[in-house]
Structure 1
Amino acid sequence: MRALVTGGAGFIGRWVVKQLLADGHDVWALDDLSNGRQENIAEFSEHPGFKEFCQGDIKDESVLNRLFLNKFDICYHLGASINVQDSIDNPRTTFENDVIGTFNVLEQCKKHGTKIVFMSTCMVYDKAQDETGITELHPVKPASPYAGSKISGENMVLSYWYAYGMPAVVVRPFNTYGPFQKTGGEGGVIAIFIKKKLAGEDLSIYGDGMQTRDFLFVEDCADFVVQCGYSGKVNGEIVNAGLGRDITINDLALLIAEDEEKISHVPHIHPQSEIMKLLCNSSKAYQLLEWKPKYSLEAGIDKTMEWIRENPLLI
């Protein structure tokens, strides 16, 4: 197949590119490098299947017009603003990237008969109520402009399936971590904790640390996202992916630091947008794709720690 990955130089995007190349497809990557890094995809530059890296913006229709002349079979749309606090501070940027940018990509996919896999997020959900976890039928709650923009993008994507019959799927991975994730800012709590542990620094937790997360190793996430592109069974669907195990941030910090004295708590930067319990039920992904994660949390943390230790210049 011929595949475009928007956000292809980002953390998850580079793993999607890697998987597609390993599966023998021709791949183009588009990224404005506002969050992604060319270093993330440097290893693919000589790969015969890696056709082009385009530094460009999904809001720039001239860039999309040129790229889509390549007649893609599928577009993995990962390009987005992803930071919750940034969306609270500057909602316009998040809306323009995650809604208007998505609309521009959808129009190109419709014009060229290209399937779209839309990367959404578990942050669209309200908190889990029990240990059965969050299914795709769980209530959504736009607790931040980031979540609101992603829900808007989801609805636009699915409208193209219903209105035009355009192959489309919405994927909602839970908190993804692993090699190539940045160790600063928000969203990479495991990477941040590991970096601080290796530097001998204290680990800081927002709030009381009782909030839980379901952490998905990035290779499992990329496999899930790529498989959703290959299968027609998920067209018109919303599909979750997670480990199926949640852990409090307090317990996560202890797992990594291995010393309670190295853990401290600080005031939460956006308590109004916190989701206290996130636990994924990914039974739908197994039913439709026979997908399930391969990495336990402990195994994923070990691989991530090894990578951060060996690649200090890439974090």
Structure 2
Amino acid sequence: MKRILVTGGAGFIGRWVVKQLLNDGHKIWVLDDLSNGRKENIAEFINHKNFEQFIEGDIKDLRLLETLFLNDYDLCYHLGASINVQDSIDNPLTTFENDTIGTFHVLEQCKKHNVKLVFMSTCMVYDRATSSTGLKETDIVKPASPYAGAKIAAENMVLSYYYAYDLPTVIIRPFNTYGPFQKTGGEGGVVAIFIKNKLNNKLLQIYGDGTQTRDLLYVEDCARFVVETGYSDQVSGEIINAGLGTDISINDLAKLIVQDESRIIHVEHIHPQSEIPKLLCNFEKAEKLLGWKPQVSLEEGIKRTEEWVKSTNLL
């Protein structure tokens, strides 16, 4: 049994990480400022015998962090971040402060208390995939948005603590994650938004020409990857991708979900300068180091997500 802090644990991916950690028998603390997360996401865990505490707070609150880390954690999954690309373009300072400065403050506490850190980065740091084998961790990065820039800066800080202080850290770059508990509004992922519009008999709006591709990873596969990087001693100082290993154009994704092309329209892109034309993950490193590979197909994942959306009051 480990004592674990999950920042951003009330968010979409965070709640699935918390669920698996509880299932695995660990004691869990969740820190979330609820700017992206929701208390409802973790409501089912609050009375779990190993769910120690939910703290509504900010990773930039130094006094709060100092108090929290007195709990003698073994491990910190750092998922708390500003994640919206357009928001980062409109207000880069907030994204930089949360994603880079906030990560620095968490790192400082992990160093002080010798706590392993798993840092959630993003596939948005990459340039477009140019190979049929997909993007590898050694491929070049291209900060096409302040969100990507802030994440790259934070990645470098995380690696510096591994090299300078021998702090066990790992950087993870999940590709486009979707599934139950993802927001279905403007801040949500494309799969959730498309499904909601389909069920509400609305048009599915595609930004630009729709030829841009995404590698879509089901959230439970993602959470399993996140959790296992924390358990492994083989991944310290590493950067590791996770994805499905196949990509799909947004046009084809819309057709797969709605199955009626007359309900699909194209609109002007809100941030074409930050669009990555092709995202395709190579997850060979995760398979080699962790034995991880995705288990849920895109078709099955869409089915599960649609069933969840139908079961909620999010329509």
**What TM-score does the superposition give when structure 1 sets the normalisation length?**
0.99
Q: Which residue of 2 aligns with 1:4?
A: 5
State the alpha-carbon separation in 2 of the partners of residues 125 and 186 from structure 1.
Answer: 21
Q: Which amino acid aligns with 1:308?
A: V
Q: CA deviation at 1:54?
A: 0.1
Q: CA deviation at 1:130?
A: 2.0
Query: 1:1-315 alignment to 2 at 5 Å?
Result: 1-313=2-314
- Counterpart of 1:292 in 2: which secondary structure? coil
Contact 1:83 1:187 in 2 (8 A): no
Give CA deviations for 1:157-211 in whole Å, capped at 9, x if unaligned: 0100000000000000000000000001245100000000001111000000000
Identity of aligned residues (%): 71
Q: Structure 1: which 5+ residue stretches go unaligned?
A: none
State the alpha-carbon separation in 2 of the partners of residues 15 and 187 from structure 1.
Answer: 16
- Where in structure 1 do 4 or more consecutive aligned residues deviate above 6 Å? none
Q: Which amino acid aligns with 2:250?
A: I
* Pair 187,152 (structure 1): closer, same or farther in 2 beyond 3 Å: farther
Q: Structure 2: which 5+ residue stretches go unaligned?
A: none
May I ask how many residue pairs the two structures share in their alignment?
314
Q: CA deviation at 1:306?
A: 0.2
Contact 2:202 2:263 in 1 (8 A): yes
- Counterpart of 1:118 in 2: which secondary structure? strand
State the alpha-carbon separation in 1 of the partners of residues 188 and 42 from structure 2.
Answer: 21
Give CA deviations for 1:77-123 in whole Å, capped at 9, x if unaligned: 00000000000000000000001100000000000010000000000
Contact 1:135 1:282 in 2 (8 A): yes
State the alpha-carbon separation in 2 of the partners of residues 34 and 100 from structure 1.
Answer: 17
Q: Which amino acid aligns with 1:53?
A: F
CA RMSD of aligned residues (A): 0.7
Q: Which amino acid aligns with 1:122?
A: C
- Counterpart of 2:210 in 1: which secondary structure? coil
- Counterpart of 2:215 in 1: which secondary structure? strand
- Counterpart of 1:233 in 2: which secondary structure? coil
State the alpha-carbon separation in 1 of the partners of residues 202 and 90 from structure 2.
Answer: 28
Contact 2:128 2:278 in 1 (8 A): yes
Contact 2:182 2:188 in 1 (8 A): no
State the alpha-carbon separation in 1 of the partners of residues 286 and 296 from structure 2.
Answer: 16
Q: Which amino acid aligns with 2:76?
A: C
Give CA deviations for 1:187-242 in whole Å, capped at 9, x if unaligned: 51000000000011110000000000000000000000000000011110000000
**What TM-score does the superposition give when structure 2 sets the normalisation length?**
0.99
State the alpha-carbon separation in 1 of the partners of residues 188 and 97 from structure 2.
Answer: 20
